[in-house]
Amino acid sequence: MNKALHFLAKITAALFHPIFMFFYGFLLMLSLKPHWFGVHHIQEQHLMIVLVFIYTCFIPIIGIVVLKKIGFIQTFEIQEKRERIAPLMICLVFYLWLWVNLKNQDSIPSVLIAFVLSTIIALSMSFVINNWIKISLHAVGISAFLGLWLKIRFYHSQDGVFFFRFQPDHVSGFHLHHLIFISILAAGWIGSSRLLLKAHEHREIYIGYLVGFLSVIIAFAITF
């Protein structure tokens, strides 16, 4: 394999690691629809951003590092099916805790609660499927991310807000359609990069895509 392409695939695996996909979705949701959270701009929700990062990224990462130190997993890539059991359980516990604590708060939009629930469903389905095949968690993450934005675009954009607000003083020219298009391209490249790195077989990628989409559909059907 071309070294540059291999390096790009490695970078892609790190940047779009499934452990970060919920946090990315949350930040973008807060940038697109801050009024859903009762604020005018993302900067007004510093505390919530920090707390979500701690519970969905920082603590799971620390847990994986500890598992590596005690020898429960051999590498941070977690290449073996059996090594995925504990990391998936750690993530599942903290997402369950997050969902239980957010679902009855009036200040939290139902779309975010549905996204948390979709992550719980995706983790649960992946945990079960992992007993038979090494499902691509990268594919699960990016397809759930894409599914979220398709749901927002077609079912939760009655307010007519389609542009992101990354700066407090103006709306950017980045449209929701741009994000969806980029997400589709990213999903294709992420799947291809996992194949290039020989981390998965084709069916493991396809099942990952399916699980991600299904988790969003089920979670939104339960929430709304």
Residue by residue, pLDDT tens for the chain (224 residues) are: 588 898 999 999 999 999 999 999 999 999 999 999 999 999 899 999 999 999 999 999 999 999 989 888 887 777 788 889 999 999 999 999 999 999 989 989 999 999 999 999 999 999 999 999 999 999 999 999 999 999 999 999 999 999 999 988 889 999 999 999 999 999 999 999 999 999 999 999 999 999 999 999 999 999 99
Cα 146 from Cα 215, distance rounded (Å): 12
At residue 73, the 3 state secondary structure works out as coil
Dump pLDDT digits (tens) for 208-219.
999 999 999 999
E strands present in the chain: none
pLDDT confidence of residue 18:
95
Q: What does residue 223 show for φ and ψ, rounded to 5 degrees?
A: -75, -35
Dump pLDDT digits (tens) for 68-104.
898 888 877 777 888 899 999 999 999 999 999 999 8
191, 136 contact by CB (below 8 A)? yes
Q: What is the residue range of 65's domain?
A: 3-223
Q: Which residues contact 93 (CB under 8 A, 6 or more apart)?
A: none
pLDDT confidence of residue 3:
84
Residue 160 region by backbone torsions, left for phi larger than 0, else alpha for psi between -120 and 50, else beta: left
Picking from 144, 42, 140, 128, the residue whose alpha carbon sits closest to that of residue 84 is 128
Angle, alpha carbons 220-204-126 (nearest 5°): 45
Helix, strand and coil content of the chain, in percent to the nearest 5, comes to: 75, 0, 25
98, 123 contact by CB (below 8 A)? no
pLDDT confidence of residue 1:
57
Number of domains in the chain: 1
